[in-house]
Amino acid sequence: MPWIILAFLVLIIQIIAIIITEYRRPDKAAAWIMILFMIPLIGFLPYYFIAKRYTRHHILSQNEYSQRESFKADLIYRCNQRIHGLADTVSRNSKLHNLLQNKLTLPLTACNETTVYTETEVAFKAMLESIAAAKHHIHMEFYIIRDDELGTQIKQLLIQKAQEGVKVRLLYDGIGSRRLGKAFLEQLQEAGVEIGCFSPPLTAFFQRQLNYRNHRKIVVVDGKTGFLGGLNIGDEYLGKDPSFGYWRDTHFSMKGDAVLWIQYTFLTDWYMVKGQLLTDSTYIPVQDNQGREIIQIVKSGPDETILELIFTLIISAKQRIYIETPYFIPDPGVLLAIKTAVMGGVDVRIIIPGTPDKKLVYYCSLSYVQELLQAGVRFYCYQKGFLHAKVLISDDLACSGSTNMDLRSFCDQFELNAIFFDRKTVNRLADDFFADLSVSNEIVQSEFEKQPALQKIKEVFARLLSPFF
């Protein structure tokens, strides 16, 4: 009997600890408490190692902090000089900018030129050509890097450029690239490529940082050409995995002042992983591009959430909200914002994959469909292959990059996105959205409500676990 009382007291203490720690996220607290009841006492162990609040890997010294702030201030000044006279136009036309001008940490940038890639083969070709033309440095950062045909091709090119004297730096995520072998990395290092791993699994486990992943996808060449979007490095992204088939993604290349902030993001991540503060002016050259686009780069993570941006994009819409995402798990605020928008007459359409890559996450996404269908949202399942594009269009603005429409991307992962103000780019993304609609099946509410009871049970169970996704 005493050991039963002791076990009960321990369980109560664990529940209290979770409530105190997660009081800002009641949904997350409820999910962890459910785990405790499913696997009493033991259930606290994964919470202990996974749910710790984020803490920075490296703390800047006073001198390093001054250098970084001076470096950032110089970039902001340069960008403000180039955008002078244009920002007011954006402000008048964008409620989003008015609401978040004091929230986003990076400024508007001018003189940009964007290329949108929806065909992954074309995107990788452009990246490889840009890397091959590098003269000074190549900075790359990916969540997933695979030792397959595409990975080998990129590895060989990086080795070649390093041997030519180009400075090559590569960052990868320890969990996302956990299958990447030592031989792959050693060949790069032997050629002179500098490599950093964001939170190696074992280190992340003991530091209780497993939940915080670097999901960014960055390539910067000579500080003048930047790539970001949804693509990682692996053959499946070229449609070579038969379980997925055709891979539909959205990726971008940019020239202009926006590249400075893609570079800034890489350099801050490099410091986070390697402890090396790179502020040399050669990494932030004067941008001679004379494009006409205004772009705002948005870096986010557990210490600077993107949730406010997503919420504001939705509530500021007057005519249309188009969303494409492989994972649709909105937080309660975003869910309410979507419902409010559609009930206010906004045309809200959401495309999700018809073929999932993660069944549990897919069931969780479906659990939100019925209540949003009832509110008036139109849902579509993409049928051509696997949909991995991450795009949100709000009236005449678009936001795209590495962020999924899920809780993990909102609050726990390091992401990189861009807000596009240029009508040409926004229209291109809208055209791509409607092209995807043409190969998608609309979910009809009356049919969806007839789904088997087992399916509904799976959705309910997945929804309860959604704070972990």
Cα(168)–Cα(14) distance, rounded to whole angstroms? 47
- What separation, in Å, do the N-terminal and C-terminal C-alpha atoms of the chain show? 38
Q: Encode pLDDT of 152-174 as tens digits.
A: 999 999 999 999 999 999 999 99
Instruction: Please give the CATH number for the structural domain made up of 307-468.
Output: 3.30.870.10
What's the confidence (pLDDT) of residue 76?
87
Q: Where is 386: in which H helix or E strand?
A: strand 386-387
If you average pLDDT over each of 132-146, 207-221, 401-415, which comes out highest? 132-146
Q: Do domains 62-300 and 307-468 have the same CATH topology?
A: yes
Whose tokens are 């890097």? That residue is 145
The 3-state DSSP class for residue 218 equals strand
Instruction: Please give the CATH number for the structural domain made up of 62-300.
Output: 3.30.870.10
Amino acid present at 70: S
What's the confidence (pLDDT) of residue 354?
92
User: What are the structure tokens assigned to 135, written together?
Assistant: 């003269």
Average pLDDT over residues 70-89: 79
Residue 401 φ/ψ region, left for φ over 0, alpha for ψ in the -120 to 50 degree band, beta for the rest:
left
Average pLDDT over residues 207-229: 92
**Banded model confidence at residue 54, pLDDT cuts 50, 70, 90:** low
**Banded model confidence at residue 49, pLDDT cuts 50, 70, 90:** low
What's the confidence (pLDDT) of residue 210?
77
User: What are the structure tokens assigned to 233, written together?
Assistant: 């490095």
Percent of the chain at pLDDT exceeding 70 = 85
Least confidently predicted of 108-117, 198-207, 261-270, 417-426: 198-207
Amino acid present at 43: G
Q: What does the domain layout of the chain look like in residue ranges?
A: 2-50, 62-300, 307-468
Average pLDDT over residues 419-432: 96
What's the confidence (pLDDT) of residue 360?
82
| Arithmetic mean of pLDDT over the chain | 88
Cα(142)–Cα(60) distance, rounded to whole angstroms? 24
What's the confidence (pLDDT) of residue 85?
63
The 3-state DSSP class for residue 38 equals helix
Contact between residue 430 and residue 444 where contact means Cβ atoms under 8 Å apart:
no
Least confidently predicted of 29-38, 137-146, 160-169: 29-38
Amino acid present at 247: W
- Of 172 and 6, the one with more pLDDT: 172
- Of 403 and 201, the one with more pLDDT: 403
Q: Is pLDDT above 70 for 37? A: no
Average pLDDT over residues 21-43: 69
Percent of the chain at pLDDT exceeding 90 = 58
What's the confidence (pLDDT) of residue 93?
47
Q: Encode pLDDT of 441-451 as tens digits.
A: 999 988 888 88
Q: Encode pLDDT of 367-418 as tens digits.
A: 899 889 999 999 999 999 999 999 999 999 999 999 999 988 988 899 999 9
Whose tokens are 């206010």? That residue is 344
Residues identified as active-site:
215, 217, 222, 388, 390, 395
